[in-house]
Amino acid sequence: MAKSKLPKQSEDFPGWYVEVVKQAGMAEHGPAKGSMIIKPHGYAVWEHTQRALDDRFKATGHENFYFPLLIPMHLLEKEADHIEGFAPEVAVVTHGGGQKLEEPLAIRPTSETVIWNTYSKWIQSYRDLPLLYNQWCNIVRWEMRTRLFLRTSEFLWQEGHTAHATEREAIDETLQMLDVYREVTEDVLAVPVLKGRKTANERFPGAVETYTLEGLMRDRKALQCGTSHFLGQNFAKAYDVTFLNRDGKQEYAWATSWGYTTRMVGGTIMTHGDDNGLRLPPAVAPVQVAIVPIYKTDEERSAVMEVATRMRDELVGRHNLRVKLDDRDQYRPGFKFSEWELKGVPLRIEVGPRDLANDQVVVAERVYGNKKQLSTGEAISSMVEMLNDIQRALYEEATAFLDDNMHQISTFDEFAEGVETEGGFWVGAWCGESDCEIEITERTKATIRFVPIEQEDPGAPCMHCGKPGAERATWAKAY
């Protein structure tokens, strides 16, 4: 169980990420290429994120349902843009029960096709609308280059699928759910994000508009943190989902879909981690407070454990905190300190014989490494406030980092050099033409992460081709 020294973020960020995920017990590679085993410490972060999302989904009127993993290929192929966009990633089942299937079955890369095929049976009249549904499930998209949490062939997510009677209602739903994602990302995961819409090249296959949240990791690369799609009537037309409107006329339903994945466990690690390991926001930390008893003799152990147990019970019972009393005798206190630091536990309480003599404990804070002595009563009463301060400090630190790495583009050459050497977000005028966007990406490896939700005149010519500017685009290298 001995941990090796982590690479420094400044010297080898990818190596640091791989090692911290492994050594902190977050996840490991599965036996099938591209697969991932999420270990309890990593899964608990997802569970708390999931709970925060699900509570907000239900508060906005959504219900959960579940659709099959296997999708007949003819359903997937009905929406042309959709299948074209996903074809390279689709895994297909061709045999079952020892025999070749009459029709191949796709393992869901996303569920719009099977769900909208079913909505054609559920929707007959405007009285049946809106349908506000969400699904928690796994997704398979065949990935050749994988990285734990960030990009694996199978991952966990939720996918919302709603149907509406009007275009305005569907657009409002799309933007509402983007804001739900923003709230969870910023208030729960303490990851500051920028909001915008994707260009046509980056849009979800089959969508009219894709809206996105973009965060900045500590290596100054962008990470897409959640997307919400206005699908227009494309899927309704492909799957013949019509309804009798209030005027007695047949009309196609308006659609949205939106998704948030386990990639945000990786995003949380990369936003907050330091050279010593994880620094988890208290809102999602599996263990918010670790209590480490210190003793040498059986007599000392008895006295220390009595106080440590009482503190744990009060923190759990009175404050409903997630507390771990580390009573493992096979490990020395120093090992435990390092392990809880690596795992990103926000607060650690150290209880030893000398502390007991003065009715004190030592409280160590993970974010900045501060230690202070408090009476046992003060420690118990101040834990919630201290955790709130840590949650706020992580968000403020990440926000300052994001602000420090926002750059305005004055010339293409400056941008090309800066995005390579400095990273971060680069904002400048773009002509709006797809070919120009592709050329810039080929030359710089940066992509347009988003343009403003409402189109804005950039007031300058395109920074690459010199044509009149049509959009104010934000560029970055990204995961």
pLDDT of residue 14: 97
Same-domain status, 430 and 328 = no
| Residue 2 counted as domain residue | no
| Beta strand spans in 173-332 (E) | 194-197, 209-216, 222-232, 242-244, 250-252, 254-261, 289-293, 323-325
Which tens digits make up the pLDDT trace of 443-456? 999 999 999 999 99
Q: Is residue 76 domain-resident?
A: yes
For residues 315-330, average pLDDT: 97
259 & 370 share domain: no
Q: Are 333 and 362 spatial neighbours (Cβ–Cβ below 8 Å)?
A: no
Looking at residue 88, what is its pLDDT? Answer: 86
Number of domains in the chain: 3
Looking at the fold, whether 166 and 226 belong to one and the same domain comes out as: yes
Q: Are residues 414 and 294 in the same domain?
A: no
Residue type, 235: F
The residue whose two tokens read 């685009």 is 473
Question: Residue 278 falls within a domain, yes or no?
Answer: no
Residue 199 lies in a domain: yes
Would residue 7 count as lying in a domain? no
pLDDT for 244 beyond 80: yes
| 1 falls within a domain | no
pLDDT grade, residue 144 (50/70/90)?
Answer: confident
At 430, which CATH number?
3.30.110.30
Both 167 and 301 in one domain: the answer is no
Q: Which long-range contacts (CB under 8 A, 24 or more apart) does 371-377 make?
A: 376/307, 376/310, 376/311
Percent of the chain with pLDDT over 70: 99
* Count of CB atoms situated within 10 Å of the CB of 83: 20
Point out the domain boundary residue: 228, 247, 272: 272
Give which of 324, 344, 348, 340 is closest to 280, Cα–Cα.
Answer: 344
**CATH code of the domain containing 145:** 3.30.930.10
Please tell me whether residues 134 and 261 are part of one structural domain.
yes
132 shares a domain with 259:
yes
Summarize the confidence of residues 139-150 as an average pLDDT: 90
Residues 202 and 88 in one domain: yes
Strands (E), 165-278: 194-197, 209-216, 222-232, 242-244, 250-252, 254-261
Q: Where does the pLDDT of residue 2 fall: very low under 50, low under 70, confident under 90, or very high at 90 and above?
A: low
Assign residue 382 the CATH number of its domain. 3.40.50.800
pLDDT (tens digit, 9 = 90+) per residue, 49-72? Answer: 999 999 999 999 999 999 999 999
Q: Are residues 332 and 248 in the same domain?
A: no
Note whether 41 and 185 are same-domain residues. Answer: yes
Residue 1 has pLDDT above 70, yes or no: no
Domain final residue, candidates 242, 272, 302: 272
**436-441 mean pLDDT:** 98
* Domain range enclosing 172: 16-272
Task: Please state, as a whole number, how many other Cβ atoms lie within 10 Å of the Cβ of residue 209.
Answer: 18
In a domain, 305, yes or no: yes
Give me the chain's average pLDDT, please: 96
Same domain, 370 and 385: yes
* Nearest partner of 380 among 284, 333, 313, 326, judged by Cα: 313
Reported as a pLDDT band with limits 50, 70 and 90, residue 79 is confident
Query: Could you tell me the pLDDT band of residue 335, with boundaries at 50, 70 and 90?
Result: very high
User: What is the pLDDT averaged over residues 252-270?
Assistant: 98
Give the pLDDT confidence score for residue 77 in this predicted structure.
Answer: 86
Residue 9 in domain = no
Residue 125 pLDDT more than 60?
yes
**Per-residue pLDDT at 53:** 98
Domain match, 395 and 423 both: no
Q: Is the pLDDT of residue 391 over 90?
A: yes
The residue among 219, 240, 272 that closes a domain is 272
